[in-house]
Each structure stands twice: as C-alpha cells, then as structure tokens.
Structure 1
Amino acid sequence: MPSDRAHTDRCCRTGGFVLKADHNGTFGIITQQRSFTDTDGTWAQDAIEGLSGRLVVDGYPDGSFRPEVPVSRSEFAAMLARALGWVPDSSASVQYTDVDPAAWDAGYIASMSERGLLSGYEDGTFKPQGLTNRAETVTLISKLLQLTGLAGS
C-alpha cells in the first residue's frame, strides 16, 4: 500500500492551507486563476474556480465546465486523488476488467484502489462511467477522512 506521509490541513478562510509532513523535502504549491464559460453567476462558481485553481477539477477543451453534468465514478476518484495531491500511478496494475490501463483515469483508479479507498463490484468491474451515488460518495469521503486523520475533527 502506498504511503502518504504528507497531507494538507483544512483550508483556512483566506484560501490557503497548511502542509504537514513527517519528512524533509522541497514542497511547491501550484495554483492558477481559472474561469469557465458556463459558471458565471452559478451558485457553485467560487467552489469550481477555487478547485480548478488548485488543479483538483478541470473543464473541457471548449472552455466550459458543465456544472449540471453528473460526475462519473472515475471523475470523482480523480478529483479526490488530486485534492489530496496524489498523482496517477501509471505503473499500478488496474484490477478491474472494464478499466483500460491506457485510459486517462486508470492511474487514479489504481492509486485509490491500492489505498483501499475504492472497490469495484462482485463481477470484477469498476463501472468508471457509472454515476456516483450518495452511499458511495459518503463511504469514500469517510475513508479519506480516516486516512488523513481528520475523521475525529
């Protein structure tokens, strides 16, 4: 199981965060100003632009974000992995029969599965294009809170 010895603390009101690590090293913070053609005036505009600026979410090549489009299981896995600063593990073995090892999401799915955060279905599939449901979302967020030590906060 991969180790994650660095994690971010809760975001503060100014949009910053604190990085805690149990090892020495050089750390960089990457942000970008980002806006989309279809988020102006929406209730989620600030959240979308904030997460996009932190490279957690991305839009489409035409400059849109499509905020009303449901999120697939693979997109949700990628967002959570990026939020934690995890990079896709292209060397990891994808254990699901319906995940193409060369697909954009394969490394994220493999990384999250190796950490015990994602699981597939009894038939050996992951259903990456399936939509996330509330139970799956809550379960995954709960596991992430446990992993990062924020569960009791």
Structure 2
Amino acid sequence: MTYVSIPASFLSSFEGKNATFFIEIKTPYGSYQAPVNLASLIPGLQDLLATNNLKIEDISFKADKFSKALTRVIPMPKSMANMPSQWGAFRYNETTKKFEFVAARKEQIDGVWYMMISSYSNSVYVVAENTVSFSDMFKHWGQSIVQLAAAKGLAEGVGGGKYAPNQSVTRAEFTAMLVRALGRDTSSGSTAPYDDVKPGVWYYDAVAKAEELGLLGFASGNSFKPDQPLTREEMASMLAAVIALEKLPITKEVVGLDRYKDIGSVDPAYLEDVRLMVDLKIMTGTGTTEFSPKSGTTRAQAAIVLVRTLQTLGMMD
C-alpha cells in the first residue's frame, strides 16, 4: 500500500482555477488519478465542515468512499503482447474476505497494456485471467457475452458448471446484480422503504441503495415484491434510470418501435425507457418482430444487458 498526504488547501487552490485538474500519483504497480475537487466528492464533508464552523483549508482528510467514480491504472507486464480473452479486474472486500467485480477497461499505451479501473472506493485491486465456461451455454445465442460477464465477476453460475440461461430473474436478483455492476457501495446506512423488504435478507442493502439512487421507479407504494419475476419493460425502466444517473449524453432522435408487433402492450410509463434501450442497443427484441415487454427477464438476458450498459457508459470493454 502507498499512503500519500496532500494538503486540502493545496487541492482547493487548484480547484479555484480549474476543477477539472487532477493529480496523478504514480507507483511501480499502478497509478491513481486524484481530482483537485476531491473534497467535494466525499459524501457529507460539506455538512461536517458547516457543523464545526470549519473551512476546507482547516482540515486534512483520508477518504475511502466517493460520490463519483475515480480511475486507478494498473500496468500489465511489458512482456505481455496481448491480453487474454477472458480477464477481470477485482476489488478485495475486507469484510467478506472475497474478491468482487469492479468495472475496468484495457488501454494500450506505447506498447504496454494498462487496466483502467473505475471505482467509488479505495481498496486493494487485482487484474487476473479468469477463464469461465458453462456446459449449458454451448451454442446458446448469448454464450460469448455471458461467459465474458462471468469472467469479470459480473455474473455467477448456479453450480455444477451450469449457468441456467433461461431461468427467470427476480426483482431482487436483478437489483443486486445492477448495484454490483455500478460499483455503488451498499453500506451507507440507506433503508429500504418497502414493507416486504426486511432487514437481514440478502438483498436488503442492494434494494435500499437502488431505491436511494432512483432505480426502482417501477415499484409502487410500499411493496417491492422481491421474489416476483422482473419483466423486460421493468428492466428497461431500471436501465434507463442508470443512464440518467450516470449522465450519459444522448440524442433527441426518436427511434421507431413499429417493427415490434407487441409494442402496443408496453405500459405507457415505460415506453420511452424501452425506446432508449433500443436506441442505445442495450436491449433488442426477443425475436424479429417481438419485444415481449411483459415477459420475464432470463438470466442470460440480465447478464447481457449489464455488459452492454457498462460498455455504453465506457466503463468496460
């Protein structure tokens, strides 16, 4: 580990000139890009300063969580001419003692491969080859992308070397997958405002975080119905909320959906979300002329749209 101390007053002096400046901290095993507006990215810091009648110049801080993803850069060995087809970047969770998915993309600079990791927290990171295959994905239409998602730790099998691609995904399951894909911390003390999401259940923190981020617009009233299969139009709603959350620039072009004969059955509340997903090529039809908005989401579809969403956001290859 490397510890770097930078006076807050030094950062704020640069921020006043140009908030887009960043300082690159380089070590032999990687580098870290620290924006000069780092203090503004620490959740709750401004309230803490106001409560204690302090200015940013009066303090020093050690930050481990941020409101915006920062970039870490890990160089690969110079002798590595090509990256393996299946690799992943992982963050070590000191609480669970396990390595978890973290979004990353590769970039080659002067003949050297670098892994650009996007994360909301400081931690220990590793990049490794992680070959994954599933016996029940052979010749499946989504084989390559599902196995890519699994290699990166974004999706998991069901055991016995199988993925169960056609098994339906519940609201709770997809919510947990989506929050994990975004790399958003779930230990911020958020509460889930649903009567049927009780503290202690495995998906509680993920649902609480998703609700806090505004991703659960389809859930009405005080009921989340965690075990109910997630429909494709509900998935479109969640993914469109992610696009808005990450502030992805989008065009105002209206994409026609007439090729889908069942598009009239889409709930009007989700129609523009479906249109956006089709426009961004994150979701396609279940057939040449069907979108199947009321059908349940399968495990294969879930993994594929998460990969496409992260690729669209520029967070993953």
CA distance in 1, matches of 2:196, 2:139: 38
1:150 to 243, 248, 260: 248
2:220 to 113, 118, 121: 121
| RMSD between aligned residues | 3.0
Question: Is the 8 Å Cα contact of residues 39 and 65 (structure 1) preserved in structure 2?
Answer: yes
Structure 2 vs 1, CA of residues 33 and 87 (structure 1 numbering), >3 Å: closer, same or farther?
farther
How much has 1:89 moved relative to structure 2? 3.1
- Percent of pairs with identical residues: 28
How much has 1:19 moved relative to structure 2? 4.4
Alignment: residue pair count: 145
2:163 to 53, 65, 83: 65
CA distance in 1, matches of 2:139, 2:156: 18
User: Which structure has the highest strand share of the two?
Assistant: 2
- Whose radius of gyration is greater, 1 or 2? 2
Structure 1 counterpart SS, 2:248: coil
Structure 2 vs 1, CA of residues 5 and 126 (structure 1 numbering), >3 Å: closer, same or farther?
same
The aligned runs of 1:43-82 (5 Å cut-off) are 43-82=141-180
Unpaired segments of 5 or more residues in structure 1? 9-13
CA distance in 2, matches of 1:70, 1:97: 24
1:5 to 61, 64, 68: 68
Instruction: For residues 23-77 of structure 1, give each alpha carbon's deviation from its aligned partner in whole angstroms, at most 9, with x where no partner exists.
Output: 9966735563222231122111111111112222111133321101111111111
Report the AA paired with residue 181 of structure 2.
Answer: A
Partner residue, 1:11: none
Partner residue, 1:95: 193
Question: Is the 8 Å Cα contact of residues 136 and 163 (structure 2) preserved in structure 1?
Answer: yes
Structure 2 vs 1, CA of residues 130 and 84 (structure 1 numbering), >3 Å: closer, same or farther?
same
Could you tell me the TM-score, scaled by structure 2's length?
Answer: 0.40
Partner residue, 2:228: 130
Could you tell me the TM-score, scaled by structure 1's length?
Answer: 0.76
CA distance in 1, matches of 2:175, 2:185: 12
CA distance in 2, matches of 1:115, 1:89: 14
Task: Answer 1 or 2: higher relative contact order, Cα 8 Å, separation at least 6.
Answer: 1
The aligned runs of 1:13-28 (5 Å cut-off) are 17=105, 18-19=116-117, 28=125
Unpaired segments of 5 or more residues in structure 2? 1-42, 44-65, 72-84, 87-103, 106-115, 252-317
Question: Is the 8 Å Cα contact of residues 213 and 245 (structure 2) preserved in structure 1?
Answer: no
CA distance in 2, matches of 1:76, 1:97: 19
Report the AA paired with residue 125 of structure 2.
Answer: G
Greater shift in the superposed pair: 108-117 or 79-88: 79-88
Structure 2 vs 1, CA of residues 7 and 69 (structure 1 numbering), >3 Å: closer, same or farther?
farther
